[in-house]
Amino acid sequence: MLPAGEALAKRTPNPEDNAMSGKDRPHVVLHNAISADGRITGFEADQALYYRLAGTWNEDATLVGADTFLAVPGPFPDEDHHTFEPPFEIGTDNRPLLVVPDSRGRLRIWHYLKSLPFWREGISLCSAATPPEHRAYLRERHIHAIEAGADHVDLAHALAILKSEFLVNTVRVDSGGTLNGALLRAGLVDEMSLLVSPCLAGGIPNGIFREPALPAGAGPIRLELMEAQKLEQGHLWVRYRIASVQ
């Protein structure tokens, strides 16, 4: 749905978030807009309604897959002197952090993402295999890098670091099926929020949960209904708690 230097301004923790989390990682919410047949592409979602609902969680960090940003059409503005300036820290800035897993170092539009008004700082999740050249790219642009994992980003470890070092208690995931699937299968999701649009998209399946064939013995991910609301213009908002991952 979407169109950090060495020291990041820490957001004041929400006591309710601490009570809700109760573990060594933040509370993680998947929030997606889908068609009535479960597609995330092939239709025009109500973005104003989608982001209005996104404010429900007052997240400390927004987790977005690199593929989501790589799919954003350019052109993007050129880098300028602001690109290489350290972030201007404001103690009362309660905007969330932007967190992007990118172990291969593919995302090269951080200067553009930094210019957007939605986030106060950026964090790139890297692995031991992330190219040194890309680490230098991040460092020069004051984008904080968290290393977690060997070949690929260890999402569980990265989330634990976000909580312990950056006081992140709530993460809202705004991404496609690949990152959603990785988080769900790893048991790292607490809640799923679906804004269902009154339309059928059809076409090649592109759902909120992209996963290869399940291994032998693996079952479906069980959900518990938290609430369902009928909203304007025929939209339905459904919230589920993740009950079990087999």
Contacts of 23 (CB under 8 A, 6+ apart): none
Mean pLDDT of the chain: 87
Q: How far apart are CA 180 and CA 206, in angstroms?
A: 12
- Phi (first) and psi of residue 2, to 5 degrees: -85, 125
Per residue in 48-95, pLDDT (tens digit) is 999 999 999 999 999 999 999 999 988 999 998 888 888 766 667 899
**Residue 173 structure tokens:** 């995931």
**Residue 181 structure tokens:** 């699937």
- Phi (first) and psi of residue 229, to 5 degrees: -130, 135
**Residue 80 structure tokens:** 């300028």
Confidence category of residue 222, pLDDT binned at 50, 70, 90:
very high
| DSSP type of residue 214 | P
Per residue in 138-184, pLDDT (tens digit) is 999 999 999 999 999 999 999 999 999 999 999 999 998 889 989 99
Look at the alpha carbons of 43, 99, 192, 156 in this order and tell me if their dihedral is positive or negative.
Answer: positive
**If we measure between CA atoms, which residue out of 10, 152, 207, 27 comes closest to residue 95?**
10
| Complete domains list, the chain, with CATH | 18-72+94-206+219-244 (3.40.430.10)
Higher pLDDT, residue 168 or 246:
168
Q: How many residues does the chain have?
A: 246
Three-state DSSP class for residue 240:
strand
Looking at residue 6, its pLDDT comes to 31
Token pair 């076409």 in the structure block, residue = 203
pLDDT at residue 20 greater than cutoff 60: no
Residue pair 168/97 in contact by the 8 Å Cβ criterion? yes
**Residue 200 structure tokens:** 């059928």
**Which helix (H) or strand (E) covers residue 138, if one does?**
helix 132-140
Looking at residue 90, its pLDDT comes to 61
Q: How far apart are CA 195 and CA 197, in angstroms?
A: 6
Average pLDDT of the residues in 7-17: 39
Higher pLDDT, residue 17 or 94:
94
Higher pLDDT, residue 210 or 11:
210
Average pLDDT of the residues in 19-40: 86
Average pLDDT of the residues in 227-242: 98
Q: How far apart are CA 67 and CA 147, in angstroms?
A: 19
Q: How far apart are CA 243 and CA 223, in angstroms?
A: 5
Per residue in 173-219, pLDDT (tens digit) is 999 888 998 999 899 999 999 999 999 988 766 677 766 555 555 67
Per residue in 106-132, pLDDT (tens digit) is 999 999 999 999 999 999 999 999 999
Provide DSSP, 145-174.
EEE--SSS--HHHHHHHHHHHH---EEEE-
Looking at residue 23, its pLDDT comes to 85
Q: How far apart are CA 152 and CA 186, in angstroms?
A: 14
